[in-house]
Structure 1
Amino acid sequence: MTALQATPPHHRVILLVDVEGSTARTNAAKAALRCALYSLIEECLIKSGIREEWRDPFIDRGDGILVLIHPVDHVPKTLLLTQVIPTLETLLCERGHSLRLRVVLHAGEVHYDMRGCFGESLDIAFRLLDSVEFKQRFRRSKAPLMLVVSEDIHRAVVRHGYDGIDPQAFVRGVYVAVAGQMCVGWVCGPAPCAAEPVTTSD
């Protein structure tokens, strides 16, 4: 494959995690933060039954991680909502982490070339993550984690109320434009930990 060539589209579940307030930290603090985040996400996926061979290697985002999960029968999209997100929230609370995480869940086609991955589905996920509405909602919250799912995930999974998923917990509240089209995100904010962390700014 040359640098100008790309693979055909591959379907992936897109899990995007970002740490709030990382730009306000020193470089030494950021190094510790990154170590804690990688350890946390790896443990969360393992505990949720998502083995390493069913996902791409983590893609570094500086103060976040992009996880691309393969379409295997062992990892239905419902698993992300009923196992991965609750497990991540539990780990954040149990370990007393100072991390507060914005999380995006989407799914779609992803291309790969010599430099990495790309595609409109990733554009949508990143726009949802960085949306002003999502950041503002999170700042007003004291929860350790807040999730936004794409319209595709909401329509295909959330609204059907599969076992362990409460559609009423999701509120349409994020709007982003991608390729001239309006994309909607549905926000779900888990309950705060018993020891609530202090809200920080981005």
Structure 2
Amino acid sequence: MSSLPVHRSIVLFDIERSTNAFRTNPIKRELRRELYRMVGEAMAYSGIDGRWHDPFEDRGDGVLLLVRPVDRVPKTHLLSKLIPELTRQLVSYNLALPSDERQRRGLRLRAVVHAGEVHRDGKGYFGEAIDVACRMLDTARLRSVLREAAAPLVLAVSEAIYWGLVKHEYDGIPADAYQPDFKVTVAGRRHQAFVHVPSTLVAVPTNGQERESFIA
């Protein structure tokens, strides 16, 4: 394996309250299965097939996705397609649960999108860019935003993603929906994170018919 870095888009997901007492091991297995299924389907929707990403790295209650820099999968797809589609799937999954099972089996995620140089050895991926993404994902502030949100997913993006993509509103990305919220320190440098709580248009049954409704 080369000791030189390669550039990747870095996407991290983590399940909310995965270590709470009501999350038994069988439920954790179920939620992991659903997480991988939804992420895989959202990737397919976004045009990210096996040629364009590295193998998943499992994080126990989350997953690390590294997307290769190819023209067929611009970084905008992560924000304009992957995150909205995953949010839609989460809403549909949670609504389908019996109300008395939503606390135990409901699935809500923290997500981070960053980009930078990464390394891989026989044990997995590493590098300062991944450290930044992990630190953003694990902040108490992002956990608090998800806890207070009605949406089942909250997203933090790095400065590189915000200033390179979000600010310019490429691909219909709404810049005013991303707000500077918290900073993390990695290797002595402060990194600003911009937080977005997605809205999704979902079909909600009403009197035997489906109507479209925003879950925000």
* Common topology (TM > 0.5): yes
Q: Equivalent residue for 2:88?
A: 90
Distance 2:200 2:118 in 1: 34
Q: Paired residue for 1:104, among 103, 106, 112?
A: 112
**Higher share of residues assigned strand:** 2
Give the Å deviation of 1:23. 0.4
Q: CA contact under 8 A between 2:12 and 2:111: conserved in structure 1?
A: yes
Distance 1:46 1:110 in 2: 24
Q: Equivalent residue for 2:183?
A: 175
Q: Equivalent residue for 2:131?
A: 123
| TM-superposition CA deviations, 1:67-111 (whole Å, max 9, x none) | 000000001111111111111111112233620010000000001
Q: CA contact under 8 A between 2:113 and 2:155: conserved in structure 1?
A: yes
Q: Residues 38-49 of structure 1 correspond to what in structure 2 (within 5 A)? A: 38-49=36-47
Matched length: 191
SS of the equivalent of 2:19 reads: helix
Distance 1:193 1:126 in 2: 29
Matching residue's letter, 1:107:
A
Give the Å deviation of 1:163. 2.9
- Say which one has the larger Rg: 2
Percent sequence identity over aligned pairs: 47
Q: Report the aligned-residue RMSD.
A: 1.5
Give the Å deviation of 1:126. 0.2
Q: Equivalent residue for 2:9?
A: 13
Distance 2:67 2:36 in 1: 16
Q: Equivalent residue for 1:142?
A: 150
Distance 1:17 1:99 in 2: 12
Q: Equivalent residue for 1:64?
A: 62
Give the Å deviation of 1:118. 0.4
Q: Equivalent residue for 1:199?
A: none
Give the Å deviation of 1:174. 1.8
Distance 1:193 1:29 in 2: 28
What TM-score, normalized to structure 2? 0.84
Greater RCO (Cα-Cα under 8 Å, separation 6 or more):
1
Give the Å deviation of 1:45. 0.3
**Ranges of 4+ aligned residues in structure 1 off by more than 6 Å:** 192-195
Q: CA contact under 8 A between 1:101 and 1:145: conserved in structure 2?
A: yes
Q: CA contact under 8 A between 2:146 and 2:152: conserved in structure 1?
A: no
In structure 1, runs of 5+ residues without a counterpart are 196-202
Q: CA contact under 8 A between 1:144 and 1:193: conserved in structure 2?
A: no
